[in-house]
Each structure stands twice: as structure tokens, then as C-alpha cells.
């Protein structure tokens, strides 16, 4: 009898004490028709938070890993997946709150052997955002480097076969992680699909802080794409 692939959920978090508990509770609602859980372990990586993120996550997580200092989202995701035992790794941002239960839709394409990586395209309501400049630049860069187009190139919500991640020895750090994962997986010949899901999360908004955040994001993405120009070395 064929065994079901195991699933590990990895949640990178930084100063998310207000949201992480609700997000993890929503992930616990991801069940099969028989009521059993869709996943086997739930790992939260607290990336050097100065608040109670780790304490709020502890009652709901299988494992909470704490970075002593903030290392960036890419490093937090890598810490999570290198400590995960699942055949499939599902990444979820800590601020999805109740909408996180819809991430179950990312598993179907992989479990049905239709994809090796599935990416969530938000179809829900976002609470404020920028002008989409970073998203368009990221999408254009991915297309130039892979010939593939994606509606949600920056989405951190994605499910990936662990074998894909094991081949990415040069994974990007910081906010270039999603773009880097997409480019590298595509260049290695893995199948990538997008799944529209009714997700919602906190946007940084059109404020000085928001534009500063997106500036840093753009710099990280530009560096990630620059390092991947020319001959590909995963």
C-alpha cells in the first residue's frame, strides 16, 4: 500500500505576537474528510523577535526554533526546512490569521503529482498596499531568467517537495527568497503552478515605513536576480 507523503509546515515569524496564534490555530483546521490533520508537523521559526512571538506560538506549534538575532526571512525559512522531516514543505506567513486554513489548497497539486511547487495567488482582500512596482519587477525578472510568467512572484505561501529544496544549496537570504526559489526550481526543470486562494494578510501600506520596507525588498530581489544571471549554478 502506498504511503501518504508527509507534510511539514514552516512559519517564519518576526514580531508577530498579535497574529501568529490565530494563524497557527487556522492551520490546525486544515483537515481531511475523515477529520485527520493534513500535516504532520508545524514548525515556527522566531527570527529574533523582541516581543512574545515564541510564547504565543508554543501552544500550537510542534516545534518553535528561536534565532538569537534577526537573520532575515530567507534564513528563517531555511532554518525551518532544514529541520523539517516532511516530504512536502508548506511555507506560511505568520500574519495570515484565520485565512491560513485555505493553504490546504496548495497541497493538492503536489499530492496529485501535478506540480513540484505550488504558489498561492491571493484572491482575498488585502489591507492596504503599495503600487505593485516590486511585484512587476520581480515578475519581469523571473520571466527573463526562466521564460515563465507568474501572477504572484512575491508570494511567501507555497508548498514545495523537499527534494527541490535539498538541491538549492545557494538559497537567497532576506526578501529575495521567494523569487530565488521560483527561479532556481524552474531552471532545474521542476513543475510550478499557481493556485488562487482567498487569503489575506497585513500589508505595509503607503507610508514611509511601507516604502522603506519595499525598498529593502526590491534591493534583495535585484541582488537575487543579478546573482542568477548567465550560467545557472543551483
Q: Which pLDDT belongs to residue 135?
A: 81
Stretch 6-15: mean pLDDT, rounded?
97
Quick one: CA dihedral 183, 134, 199, 13, positive or negative? Answer: positive
Q: Does residue 157 sit in helix, strand or coil?
A: coil
| More confident call, 108 vs 176 | 108
Task: Specify burial of residue 176 (Cβ count, 10 A radius: 0-12, 13-18, 19+).
Answer: buried
> What phi, psi does 37 have (nearest 5°)?
-70, 145
- Write the pLDDT tens digit of every residue in 30-53: 998 888 999 999 999 999 999 999
pLDDT score of 209 more than 60: no
* 117 pLDDT tier (thresholds 50, 70, 90): very high
Residues across the chain = 234
**What are the backbone angles phi and psi of residue 76, rounded to the nearest 5°?**
-65, -40
Higher pLDDT, 222 or 143: 143
Decide which of 89 and 207 is more confident: 89
In percent, the amount of the chain with pLDDT more than 90 equals 63
Least confident of 40-44, 195-199, 223-227, 228-232: 228-232
**What is the number of other CB atoms lying within 10 angstroms of the CB of residue 36?**
7
Percent of the chain surpassing pLDDT 70? 84
pLDDT at 212 over 60: no
Instruction: Tell whether the model's pLDDT for residue 21 goes beyond 60.
Output: yes
Cell numbers for 208: 514611509
Confidence check: pLDDT of 232 > 70: no
Output DSSP code: residue 168: -
8 A C-beta contact, residue 138 and residue 204: no
Instruction: Tell me: pLDDT of 1 over 90.
Output: no
| Among 195, 199, 200, 160, CA closest to 180 | 160
Distance CA 174, CA 90 (A): 18
In this predicted structure, the answer to whether residue 68 has a pLDDT above a threshold of 90 is yes
CATH fold for the domain made of 7-227: Spore Coat Polysaccharide Biosynthesis Protein SpsA; Chain A (3.90.550)
User: Poorest-confidence range of 54-58, 103-107, 134-138, 229-233?
Assistant: 229-233
Whether 128 has a pLDDT exceeding 60, the answer reads no
* Strand pairing category for 7-13 and 41-47: parallel
Q: Is pLDDT larger for residue 231 or for residue 108?
A: 108
215 vs 116: which has the higher pLDDT: 116
Residue 133 confidence (pLDDT) = 78
Question: Is residue 15 scored above 80 in pLDDT?
Answer: yes
**Mean of pLDDT over the chain:** 87
Residue by residue, DSSP assigns 175-198 as: GGHHHHHHHHHHHTT--EEEEEE-
Amino acid at each position: 500500500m502506498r504511503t501518504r507523503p508527509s507534510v511539514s509546515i514552516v512559519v517564519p515569524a518576526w514580531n508577530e505576537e498579535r497574529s501568529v496564534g490565530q494563524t497557527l490555530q487556522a492551520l490546525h483546521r486544515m483537515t481531511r474528510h475523515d477529520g485527520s490533520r493534513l500535516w504532520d508537523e508545524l514548525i515556527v521559526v522566531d527570527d529574533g523577535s523582541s516581543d512574545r512571538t515564541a510564547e504565543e506560538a508554543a501552544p500550537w506549534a510542534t516545534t518553535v526554533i528561536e534565532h538569537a538575532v534577526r537573520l532575515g526571512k530567507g534564513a528563517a525559512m531555511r532554518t525551518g526546512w532544514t529541520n523539517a522531516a516532511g516530504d512536502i514543505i508548506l511555507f506560511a506567513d505568520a500574519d495570515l490569521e484565520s485565512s491560513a486554513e485555505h493553504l490546504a489548497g496548495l497541497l493538492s497539486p503536489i499530492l496529485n503529482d501535478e506540480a513540484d511547487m505550488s504558489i498561492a495567488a491571493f484572491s482575498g482582500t488585502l489591507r492596504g498596499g503599495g503600487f505593485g512596482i516590486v511585484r512587476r519587477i520581480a515578475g519581469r525578472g523571473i520571466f527573463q531568467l526562466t521564460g515563465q510568467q507568474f501572477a504572484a512572484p512575491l508570494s511567501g505561501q507555497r508548498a514545495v517537495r523537499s527534494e527541490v529544496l535539498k538541491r538549492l544549496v545557494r538559497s537567497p537570504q532576506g526578501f529575495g527568497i521567494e523569487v530565488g526559489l521560483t527561479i532556481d526550481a524552474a531552471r532545474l526543470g521542476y513543475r510550478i503552478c499557481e493556485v488562487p486562494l482567498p487569503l489575506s494578510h497585513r500589508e505595509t501600506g503607503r507610508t514611509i515605513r511601507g516604502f522603506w520596507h519595499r525598498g529593502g525588498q526590491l534591493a534583495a530581489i535585484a541582488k537575487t536576480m543579478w546573482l542568477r544571471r548567465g550560467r545557472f549554478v543551483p
